[in-house]
Amino acid sequence: MARKKSSISSAISPFVVITGLSGSGMSSATNAFEDVGYFCVDNLPITMLSTFARLLVQNSEGAAAIEKAALVINIRERHFLPDFQKELNKLERKNRRPFVIFFEASDDTLRRRFSETRRPHPADSGKGLLAAIRSERKAMTDVRKIADLIVDTSDHTVHTLRRFLLNKFSSMPEGTPFRVQLVSFGHKYGNPRDLDLLFDVRHLPNPYFDRDLKHLTGEDRKIVSFLRKHPEVAETTYRFEGLLEYLLPFYKKEGKSYLSIGIGCTGGKHRSVMVANELRKSLKKRGYDVSVNHRDMQK
């Protein structure tokens, strides 16, 4: 019996199962859920899933033992892969299905994270880290298919992942400020994932070809001064500002609480940084809650 995807809104789901690939950010996700009032359990035995779900059911007095829970269940639990679908089906029949989130990341990202932490990969059979990552990804294919939400954390930091989850799962009152994140980046390093809008500024004059400027960043006054000398820079920024001034109220009206906007140049060091900073100032003047992440500025 194939499990239907949950129709429950993630923002109000009291029962969440966190799963995914090792190293993809499940621990960071658990911390975020704790911050919004979820009772969290790491590496719950799969056989305990139905038992735990009963704690979220209201008793005769109208109160549940636990109001909101987020459970981490992954490949470390030895019965997870063969029994996960079966346990979800049991809950489905009792109308207690959880909202399942599957975390993943690219092979290169996972390999880098494991290399930095020097932790052993749980699927390592002696054939090397990359083989372990790919083996786990293949083994988790069916679990990924039944997830209600798939989150790729390749371009997330601990902080941006936390912000993403807080915005999606906290019970925020109506009128909470609409948050905008501007991400400057270099196209040669690949586009950031999960962008809502993307602006390309590779048509603007490039300080990289000035020997005295190439080592600086778009936050340096010399780079800003260089770019402001060219009328197409001001015109481009002005037109981006006008488009955002038009579009952002529609995103906010739609109920979106978090919008990610990418600004890309070739290397992500000069033009995209300067334009992102200019857009931040403009949006702040219009009352928006804006943050900037210069992903590739120091590369």
Residue ranges covered by each domain of the chain: 15-169, 179-294
The pLDDT assigned to 5 comes to: 52
- Does 175 score more than 70 pLDDT? no
- pLDDT over 70 percentage in the chain: 89
**Helix or strand run (H / E) with residue 262:** strand 258-265
pLDDT in tens, 65-105: 678 889 999 888 878 888 899 989 888 888 888 899 999 99
- Does 31 score more than 60 pLDDT? yes
Q: Which residues contact 97 (CB under 8 A, 6 or more apart)?
A: 3, 6, 8, 15, 88, 91
- Does 212 score more than 60 pLDDT? yes
pLDDT in tens, 4-19: 454 444 445 788 999 9
Rounded to 5 degrees, what angle do the CA atoms 215, 216, 218 make?
A: 140
Strands 289-294 and 197-200, how do they pair?
unpaired
**Span 215-223, average pLDDT:** 96
**Which residue, 66, 67, 74, is CA-closest to 26?**
74
The pLDDT assigned to 241 comes to: 97
- Does 293 score more than 90 pLDDT? yes
Asked if residue 144 lies in contact with residue 103, where contact means CB atoms within 8 angstroms, the answer is no
pLDDT in tens, 123-164: 888 888 999 999 999 999 999 999 999 999 998 888 788 878
- Does 3 score more than 80 pLDDT? no
- Does 49 score more than 60 pLDDT? yes
Q: Cα separation of 64 and 177, whole Å?
A: 31
- pLDDT over 90 percentage in the chain: 55
Which class for 142: exposed (0-12), middle (13-18), buried (19 or more C-beta within 10 A)? Answer: exposed
Q: Around 70, how many Cα atoms within 13 Å sit in the side-chain half-sphere?
A: 25
The pLDDT assigned to 162 comes to: 81
- Does 243 score more than 60 pLDDT? yes
pLDDT tier, 245 (very low <50, low <70, confident <90, very high otherwise): very high
- Does 64 score more than 70 pLDDT? no
For residue 44 the two structure tokens come to 């719950």
**Span 210-233, average pLDDT:** 95
pLDDT tier, 174 (very low <50, low <70, confident <90, very high otherwise): very low
The pLDDT assigned to 2 comes to: 46
**Span 168-195, average pLDDT:** 80
Average pLDDT of the residues of the chain: 87
Q: Which CATH number fits domain 15-169: 3.40.50.300, 2.40.40.20, 3.30.2290.10, 3.30.70.920?
A: 3.40.50.300
**Residue ranges of E strands in 73-221:** 99-104, 149-152, 179-186, 197-200
